[in-house]
Structure 1
């Protein structure tokens, strides 16, 4: 009798593993939606800020105090301007061309309305007297255009010893700062251009030449 061949074990049908779906928590979903909404709002605000730009006038070349502004001295820029910042708008560029710089202007800065003037810094009937101040004579308060000063005549060295000095108050001349330079390298001397009357200009110039002039700041009301 023939024997049937022994059958090896045959694998039955394979049951796929059960994959359990994760449970979605409502709180996580709400948080995710909130973050997406907040991110979208942030992008919207950023786009609005970028789009809200103002065309303003900029300074592209060095301009000295009293110098007449030309179109070549100025440029335009589009910036996001804070309302607290006062700047000349680009539409008004033609109006400031031909005016004078009331302060020293530097390239890369915005042009403010207060930095220009239609008036000459040396008015009719005035003279400009340059005064060199040594480091110990320069006031700690910054000298700015328009600041009122008094030019004081002091006795020359040795004059008091010879009895030429009197007890009378020193002679003074009223003046107004037009420009003050930076301290010169090495010496620290600061040159201040002071506007005086035509009558007082030669007097002040003589005091400067003799080394008998000192400059003091006047009170804000000019007295």
Structure 2
């Protein structure tokens, strides 16, 4: 028996196979089928997102030329060109401000409220009317901290000046049951409370006939200020 046959018999009669393997084909991967509906939805979402970003960028870049206050202006003071300036701002639609194109229309008008530098000028902050009208007088009324109403005093607010007994006097009954004397007035300006004392000075416009009487009440310390109802009743 030859040596080749002996090796074959020793391995159980199974012929030895060739040790060199042939080339192996890679597995075939089937491509997923694309769904046209999903592709269209994705494109629509991308387009919507891009449009939203574009709108935000346009809104952020949209600026409006408005009128600003550059100097302190007191209530009733006529506005001049030196009191006002211009600025370009991103203006919210809810904010009412005088446009820069209308600057000339507010020059000469009077400040209805106290104006501070750096603020935008609103149409409601100016008026063409004199705060103290013909036939009126301005009476300054000093109010102590406990006499100042909790409701803020604003220009144009209607008030009544009430005459009360002088401090330290005793009511003898002669005036019991009678209503105190009052004078109608209108707030022109109210200062901030003074440091330390808390006193607030309120400029009140009254008729020229009642002005001297109201001033005498203030000097004697017998005047009190009462707010009228918003409708003036």
Does the TM-score normalized on the shorter chain lie above 0.5? yes
Deviation at 1:216, TM superposition (A): 0.2
Cα pair 1:159 1:165 within 8 Å, conserved: no
Cα pair 2:167 2:221 within 8 Å, conserved: no
Q: Is the counterpart of residue 123 in structure 1 residue 138 in structure 2? A: no
Provide the residue aligned with 1:220 in structure 2. Answer: 230
- Unaligned runs of 5+ residues in structure 1 are 1-19
- Unaligned runs of 5+ residues in structure 2 are 1-28
Provide the residue aligned with 1:57 in structure 2. Answer: 67
Provide the residue aligned with 1:84 in structure 2. Answer: 94
Q: Which has the larger radius of gyration?
A: 2
Moved more, 102-111 or 89-98: 102-111
Cα pair 2:186 2:206 within 8 Å, conserved: yes
Cα pair 2:63 2:90 within 8 Å, conserved: yes
TM score, norm. by length of structure 2: 0.78
The count of residues paired between Structure 1 and Structure 2 equals: 213
Deviation at 1:28, TM superposition (A): 9.2
SS of aligned partner of 2:159: strand
Q: Is the counterpart of residue 184 in structure 1 residue 164 in structure 2? A: no
Matches within 5 A, 1:1-223: 36-162=46-172, 165-223=175-233
Cα pair 1:155 1:165 within 8 Å, conserved: no
RMSD: 2.7
The CA distance in 2 between the partners of 1:128 and 1:189, in whole Å, is 18
